[in-house]
Each structure stands twice: as C-alpha cells, then as structure tokens.
Amino acid sequence: MNRWRLKLLPGVYAVAKGSCKPPLHELENGVLAIISDGKSYTWIGPQDYLPASSRVQSGFRALEVEGPLDFELTGVIAGISAVLAKARVPIFALSSYDTDYILVPGSKLAAAVAALKTGGYVVKTI
C-alpha cells in the first residue's frame, strides 16, 4: 500500500457558507476554494480572509498531500481518511488539479499527525 507524504500548511483555515459569492483576495500562501451548488456558496481558505457569511466553521489546520498526483491514482483520500477515522479525527477534504488537502480541527491536529505517522505516512510539520 502506498503511503503519501503530507505537509502541514501554516495558518488557520475556515469553511464558510453564504448566499453571495465572496470577493477573491490575492493570497501569497494558502488554499482558497469557492464552490457553488446553485443555492449558496461554500468558501474554504485562510481564516484571516473569512468573508461575511451565514455559517462558519473555523479553527481548521490544513494538510497538503505532496503532489502532483496523477488523475489515475485511487484511494489517496480513502487511505488518509481511514487512518484519521480510526483515530476519531473528523476531516474536511478537498482536491485541486494537482493534489488533495485534508482539513482537521486544530484541537485534533496532534492526534491527526500522530495517527498518520503511526499509519506509515510522513508528515512534515513546521
């Protein structure tokens, strides 16, 4: 079984839901995603750039799977999420063209890193 290398990104992240598209900010570092389901927008990004919204979940830390990952790969998120589920660490997963990201509650970061390392993953922390 392949074990992926993960890197802890700096900063604190949030996931927000709102009825209007949040403005885009130029970011020097960090992940930013905006998703529309036709009824509302979901924003995922650094907590410091949090737009006004009706619902917010904040305090996440982001782990980036070292990529780029080929589109033919399977089970990357499944393997990581299984290890974290066993450790009772909830996740919010998202993907970009090149890689995958796993957001974990900041209060569970130490448990997540320990579980991943025990599961054979390499986690680069700062």
Q: pLDDT tens digits, the chain, 126 residues: what are they? A: 557 899 999 999 999 888 776 666 655 666 778 888 888 888 888 888 776 666 889 999 999 998 888 888 788 899 999 999 999 999 999 998 899 999 999 999 999 999 999 999 999 987
Predicted local confidence at residue 3, as pLDDT: 74
CB 18, CB 73: distance < 8 Å: no
Predicted local confidence at residue 73, as pLDDT: 79
pTM: 0.87
* Structure confidence by residue, pLDDT tens digits, 55-71: 889 999 999 998 888 88
Closest CA to 114 of 91, 77, 93, 87: 87
CATH for the 5-124 domain, from 3.30.2130.10, 3.10.270.10, 3.50.50.60, 3.40.50.720: 3.30.2130.10
Predicted local confidence at residue 101, as pLDDT: 94
Domain ranges of the chain: 5-124
Predicted local confidence at residue 110, as pLDDT: 98
